[in-house]
Amino acid sequence: MNALAVSSSEQKNPEAAEELLQLVTLTLGDEEYAVDILKVQEINRMKEITRVPNAPSYVEGVINLRGKVIPVVNLRAKFGLMDKEKDDKTRIMIMDIQGITMGLIVDSVSEVLRIPTSIVEPTPPMASNISSEFIKGIAKLDERLIILLDMDRLLGKSEDTELLQLN
């Protein structure tokens, strides 16, 4: 079944429709991840990033987005993945995380999905090479496994302070 299709039973039963998650899928390396669409403000092509001295290693720097200075986090570095050369598929996802507008550099952004919550399973131990604290669950979709990220857990309290100082 196509993930974007809504079955006729869901159309007749509004409670079933509320059980759908709306997600934006992204890739980091060979893994497919998804974030809540409500956290995503916009998706941009890579642009020039201004480095900030003494910023945490996962912070690439800042960008000027329509007159506002936005901190940009390299999600690969945050998750401890090997760095990869940026290419024409690399994107900056502008997101609202704990009230902070920031950019996240990802390898690519794939699609918008609507999936039932019933296909999301809890994270098994060692399911990914990223820390399980950032993972809400794993969606089984046809032949795909999509790791659902908990963006509110992406930043710790000390990291919040560091990033706010960049704004």
Give the Cα separation of 74 and 58 in Å (integer): 5
The answer to the question of residue 1 being in a domain is no
CATH of the domain at 59: 2.40.50.180
Domain that holds residue 39: 8-166
- Grade residue 164 by pLDDT with cuts at 50, 70 and 90: low
The answer to the question of residue 97 being in a domain is yes
User: Does the pLDDT of residue 91 top 90, yes or no?
Assistant: yes
Tokens 């760095």 correspond to 83
SS3 call for 162: helix
Position 122 scores a pLDDT of 83
Q: How many domains does the chain have?
A: 1
Give the Cα separation of 150 and 63 in Å (integer): 24
The answer to the question of residue 46 being in a domain is yes
Give the Cα separation of 112 and 30 in Å (integer): 18
Q: What is the DSSP letter of 154?
A: S
The answer to the question of residue 114 being in a domain is yes
Query: Which residue did the predictor score with more confidence, 158 or 136?
Result: 136
| Start-to-end Cα distance in the chain | 44
The answer to the question of residue 54 being in a domain is yes
The answer to the question of residue 3 being in a domain is no
The answer to the question of residue 118 being in a domain is yes
Give the Cα separation of 27 and 105 in Å (integer): 10
Dihedral sign of CA atoms 51, 70, 97, 136 in order: negative
Tokens 């609202």 correspond to 96
The answer to the question of residue 17 being in a domain is yes
Average pLDDT over residues 73-86: 90
